[in-house]
Amino acid sequence: MNMVVDAGNTLTKIGIFEKDSLVQKEVFDTEVDLQNFLSRTPSENLLISSVMSGMNEIASWSVATGHKIILRPDLPLPIQNRYATPATLGVDRLAAACGARLTFPDQDCLVVDIGTCINFEFVNKEGEYLGGAISPGVRMRFEALHHYTAKLPLAPVAEGPPLTGNSTISCLQSGVINGMREEINGILQRYHIQYPGIRVILCGGDAHFFENHLKPAIFVAPDLVLMGLNSILLHNVAL
């Protein structure tokens, strides 16, 4: 069994794999619970990805008996990284790109990862990661509207707001959610024009707000980043 750790801005996800198969998934929102799980759960090899610091400390909590690998931009990958500034590239974006390549090998793929931010990651059919785009996520947009204005309230997230809001709250919800849907659909359309037949993969904690409103067809893969991390781990263990 191998273990991968995806430490995000708000939650930490752990995937336990038997070769390519995800057999267990855990989610933690406190450091104490994460430490307890790692210190009590045996594994062979471990890979840690974090958008923040503290990866060495997380590694020290693990009782893995084999390799303990920290994902950095210069780590060997199962894809070719063509990003112009690899040292600035978020490791979560690399993992999503590797997950896309694993899911649809030899095809052009675009990942739409909707969480704290919306990350678009493009991997071409030759297995080259070329980059993508970053845009504010759902809650970041609501918070910005509240923070940078004098009177607008902090509106809650709504699953299906009307096109025409009839209150300040519903107007904010319409602007954020419907605006994001149009933004994402517009970007997808441009990719489909440039890369006919491209496969679009949707993931991230807020993906459910959009999965039934995007076109053309998308592939929903909630564990894409964990799968990508496992492919990076297997790639490095085999070297």
Looking at the fold, whether 151 and 60 belong to one and the same domain comes out as no
User: Phi and psi at residue 181, in whole multiples of 5°?
Assistant: -60, -45
Q: Residue 234: which of 5, 93, 76 has the closest Cα? A: 76
Looking at the fold, whether 225 and 130 belong to one and the same domain comes out as yes
What's the pLDDT tens digit per position in 123-155? Answer: 999 999 999 999 999 999 999 999 999 999 999
Cα separation, 67 vs 16, whole angstroms? 15
Alpha carbon separation from 154 to 118, 140, 145 (Å, rounded) = 20, 11, 8
Looking at the fold, whether 158 and 233 belong to one and the same domain comes out as yes
Domain boundary among 50, 70, 90: 70
Domain boundary among 55, 70, 85: 70
Looking at the fold, whether 1 and 90 belong to one and the same domain comes out as no
Yes or no: say if 120 and 132 are a contact pair by the CB < 8 Å rule: yes
Amino acid, single-letter form, for residue 186: G
Looking at the fold, whether 141 and 65 belong to one and the same domain comes out as no
Question: Between residues 159 and 181, which one has the greater pLDDT?
Answer: 181
Catalytic residue among 20, 74, 92, 106: 92
Yes or no: say if 124 and 108 are a contact pair by the CB < 8 Å rule: yes
Looking at the fold, whether 194 and 131 belong to one and the same domain comes out as yes
The sign of the torsion formed by the CA atoms of 93, 96, 101, 107 equals: negative
Domain boundary among 70, 89, 108: 70
Looking at the fold, whether 4 and 57 belong to one and the same domain comes out as yes
pTM for the structure as a whole:
0.92
Q: How many structural domains is the chain composed of?
A: 2
What CATH number is given to the structural domain containing 13?
3.30.420.40
Looking at the fold, whether 143 and 97 belong to one and the same domain comes out as yes
Residue 206: which domain range?
77-239
pLDDT of residue 55: 87
Cα separation, 143 vs 152, whole angstroms? 10
Q: How confident is the model at residue 215 (pLDDT cuts 50, 70, 90)?
A: confident
The sign of the torsion formed by the CA atoms of 48, 222, 107, 105 equals: positive
Looking at the fold, whether 209 and 115 belong to one and the same domain comes out as yes
Looking at the fold, whether 170 and 188 belong to one and the same domain comes out as yes
pLDDT of residue 54: 81
- Residue 89, both tokens: 């590239």
What count of other Cβ atoms lies within 10 Å of the Cβ of residue 44?
Answer: 12
Looking at the fold, whether 158 and 98 belong to one and the same domain comes out as yes
H/E run at residue 199: strand 199-203
Look up 92 and say whether it is catalytic. Answer: yes
